[in-house]
Chains A and B, each alone.
Chain A
């Protein structure tokens, strides 16, 4: 399931011209070395690709939680 969804997003980003910026890898908690290697490799790859062309589009966001028109998440008592 994960792999299908990620493949979908990878293809979509490729279509958008943002290829290569999403990577999927299964790493168990016992595979510290693999984790380090994958993160290093991916960091290197992204550095090589350069900053995301959409970076900077993100608007500055206030730290304060804004008054939300939407309902606050509150817990109903179970049962």
Chain B
């Protein structure tokens, strides 16, 4: 059964009150909520490479109507985001019906690394001064000393126009009140924001939450390699906390006071 039929069935049987997917409009795909009232729209339902954090829309809807039953077209990354939102009480699994679609239309790349994100183009200036999107974070560590790393990051961050696009697109940014808009921490009206603090605050808040969908990096108009940054954060979280956000329904270790820790404080000269 094709997806349009499935959605129609879900709506008609009352399994979901609204189904979140994409709709083609003037040759573009935009996020759209299908309901019984606009069944005719279903003919424009399309699945393609394009993505949007539909879970975020689901979170906002749930906030207004806690018992709303929501269907959602989901790839692997959406599913990880959903899992994370379940563990953080933002959505409850009983109210969500994901319809899984293929992650990777080309069938040639590996699912586990999510993403059909095309290799990004990095210009030569960016390669020289900043960070190559496609570099492996471990190689970045090996190829650059402390000072080089710092200057490359500062180059990248200094381009920030504080548009909050990274936060706005992020499926797991669900706070009602964002610290990055707190005038005590981030001075309003100043550009670029205080770097690298602004970006590190966000990175810290993403630790244990980021499900590596890469939408932030896609959304950034300044081409700051955010996914590159959060991917390394995720590696640390996995090493230190033995936790992969969104992999399951496990609670984030960031809020649990563990019993026993085998880690030792690092010596000062390390």
Contact = CB atoms under 8 A, between A and B. Distances in A.
Report if A and B touch in the complex (beta carbons < 8 A). Answer: yes
Interface of A: 1, 3-12, 14-20, 23-26, 38, 41-42, 45, 53-54, 57-59, 66, 68-70
A28 B137 CA distance: 38
B266 A59 contact: no
| Interface SS, A side | loop
Given A16-B153, A17-B146, A70-B182, A7 B197 contact: no
Contacts of A3: 261, 263-265
Given A12-B236, A24-B266, A25-B265, A58 B194 contact: yes
Nearest to A71: B177
Contacts of A69: 183
5 contacts: A3-B261, A7-B263, A17-B146, A18-B146, A70-B183
What 4 pairs across the A-B complex have the smallest Cβ distances?
Answer: A17-B150, A17-B149, A11-B236, A17-B146
Given A3-B263, A15-B141, A24-B266, A8 B148 contact: no
B222 interface: no
Given A4-B253, A23-B268, A45-B268, A57 B195 contact: yes
B237 interface: yes
A8 B194 contact: no
Contacts of A59: 187, 190, 194
Nearest to A1: B257
A4 B241 contact: yes
Contacts of A25: 265, 268
Contacts of A1: 256-258, 261
Contact of A12 (B200, B257, B264): B200
Candidate in A6, A14, A16, A41 with the most chain B CB atoms within 10 angstroms: A16
Contacts of A53: 150, 154
A37 to B, nearest CB: 10
B194 A57 contact: yes
A69 B71 CA distance: 37
Interface in B181-215: 182-184, 187, 190, 194-197, 200, 203-204, 207
